[in-house]
A and B are shown apart, each in its own frame.
Chain A
């Protein structure tokens, strides 16, 4: 087939299959991206329902709703659903949608692999959730799955391990696709240091995924063989070492938290310049800071284990390496601040979420710095102070960034504008009540309330009630989000030929809205590239 003939075929019609075939046999990056985002949304609400159960149980002292075993199942599944089901697939969905648009590629490099990596997910998700239905219920050892406790759970134990294997395979395939796409399908002239930061952060995230998902797979496989095949990797009675699991798990677990947050840094670095009407300050520093954070994430895992009895020298090492992360993270926050400085700011919903991210993620960063100091960590470890810390970086961090990204690019995807007033309601309810929900948890942790307890002493009731009320309102406010998106796609006002955001920049805005089914059938010229970069 000659090139001109192929172009003609494409131009005639976007030969997309119709009906269910379009989705089941999907190879189009936009269709797959959409499915990822819908899957992520479903898991977000399921994980959120578990969180509502947790907050209802903790509304007051005295066991009210759930038996402690059920409570432990809820909190374990809440974490697994949110991390592996909601946040990670949301980022892969956004990568699918945006990377080809942003680098001038027609699609992802490996479309069939893309189909496979998505279609593993519904099965993995179903396997994970069905753990609730088997005798003995879901695993209740926390998402950290520490042995020997984890091995005390019955029929659901292998189900969750296989679900994690599947989710891990899906992530690795997705990451391979992202790397191959970015390395091979950039438009001529789109050098690495001209790539938008969302692409950069995703490239680095993809390497993190490939590096650590196999480590998790190894750790849970060892758990499985310990349980069913008589090995003793983690069984002290058989000469094994339960602390080995903690080391292996957190060697995965710390890069994992950056997998959840680095693409958020990318999104914020796209949104803030747009609504400040000013280029990103310190682009190259941002790239190097992201890479430094990714590198450091491999040498800080011990800070999750300060109380397990590591040698003092090891504790010192992990304390110092952890504190070091504050430097590149600080650079990022300063650069975002400098981007807003002397800008011309306006506060559409994506910017509102980005500004909230900036403040609240930074608060999570500060509590992270406090947690890095080993002697203080002896008091913080395993308490609600830690719960407050990681929810501050994950909820107003990762999740606000995902929502900001959807509000930012939805007009690009759908060609329609959403109800701005309703989106602002969604924002203000979320931003206020996320603090009502999580800020008091700092107090609870410092005052001595351990995390993961089904019931607590009466003196902790007051702040728990505040936190639960915050949780209920925050949870209810999230129902606005799918409604706003649905309403936009169905009947939003078409955005027409103009950019929906006047300060927007980048290749994706050089395409019409909605973006054509096949993104860049011809690579953008240098003129288009330069125009896209202009402000």
Chain B
């Protein structure tokens, strides 16, 4: 009964949220404040029409994946132009209505058939080589500077910084959670980063190789942050490895979601990564360590809650 109902229980939490609450007030006031909230929200979402392609991302790996993706895309575009061009030519000029006479002797041509079998093989080899190189590179998880164990659960993520006592439980932020209820009456656009914000984000340093050890305590999940170029299934009984190094010039907030159907909360287990300078990261980690074993409920220092 997580999504349906529960409105009463959440009233107190909702009361803390400005825009979401306004939207449920009287109609006149609601529309005005809704418009204001949406206007305010514009920079956060930009326009959905522009979201056409894979993000280039901020790690060494993600930018290379992007290049590989674009290479494959353009190869497909060129091949499509050639094949569809021939098809369209036939459709236009070899029509009965134009008096075209069929060439019924054209049933087979060994030379042509050899050509259109070997050329695709060569193109495929050309695509496979860079892909294979990148694959080997991505799966090199050695020499990491920070190791974090990622436990997926229904529905959220737990992050344990190995070698420290720091452990964070990261769940959908309360503002998104409340607005996501059936008949919540809240416009999702009025909620900052609706469904893509968490209470306690994962904090990592830029410029250092971060290794993730990903597993699950219940069903199969998948940890995915597009800007990092990392997606790995979290499988009970298995520990999967993944690693990334964020460009030192690109600290920031990177968002993702669970990418494997994991039950009714599948849409509600986002991932938020705060990439900060190594110095800030160390400060944050020390602060968390000294806060003791209660950290999972503590406030992470550099980022504010509900981001």
Contacts and interface: CB of A to CB of B under 8 A. Distances in A.
Interface of A: 61-64, 67-69, 72, 140-142, 146, 148-149, 152, 236-237, 240-243, 276-285, 307-309, 312, 315-316, 319-320, 323-324, 326-327, 330-331, 333-334, 337-338, 340-346, 355, 358-359, 362-363, 366-367, 369-370, 373-376, 378-379, 381-383, 443-444, 446-448, 450-463, 535
29 contacts: A63-B181, A67-B182, A69-B3, A140-B264, A242-B237, A281-B106, A281-B108, A309-B232, A323-B124, A323-B127, A338-B106, A343-B100, A358-B87, A366-B80, A369-B76, A369-B127, A375-B131, A375-B135, A376-B68, A378-B138, A378-B229, A378-B230, A379-B229, A446-B52, A448-B256, A455-B267, A458-B48, A458-B189, A462-B47
Contact of B91 (A236, A285, A340): A340
B220 A459 contact: no
A350 B262 CA distance: 42
Interface in B78-131: 79-80, 83-84, 86-87, 90-91, 94-97, 100-104, 106-109, 112-113, 116-117, 120-121, 124, 127-128, 131
B7 interface: no
Contacts of A454: 264, 266-267
Interface in B223-265: 224, 226, 229-233, 235-238, 240-241, 256-265
B265 A243 contact: no
Contacts of A320: 128
B19 to A, nearest CB: 13
A462 B50 CA distance: 10
Interface stretch (B157-165, B193-201, B279-287, B292-300): B193-201
Contacts of B187: 62
B46 interface: yes
Given A63-B182, A337-B90, A448-B226, A282 B108 contact: yes
B166 interface: no
A72 B261 contact: yes
Q: Tell me which of A281, A330, A359, A379 has the highest count of chain B C-beta atoms within 10 A of its own C-beta.
A: A379
Given A362-B83, A450-B266, 16 more contacts: A63-B184, A308-B233, A316-B132, A330-B116, A334-B83, A341-B86, A342-B94, A345-B96, A373-B68, A375-B131, A378-B231, A379-B226, A447-B54, A447-B55, A457-B193, A535-B104
A152 B231 contact: no
A67 B80 contact: no
A148 B76 contact: no
Interface size classification for chain B = 35 or more
A344 B100 contact: yes
Q: Tell me which of A280, A343, A457 has the highest count of chain B C-beta atoms within 10 A of its own C-beta.
A: A457
A344 B96 contact: yes
A331 B116 contact: yes
Contacts of B208: none
A493 to B, nearest CB: 22
A330 B189 CA distance: 45
B47 A141 contact: no
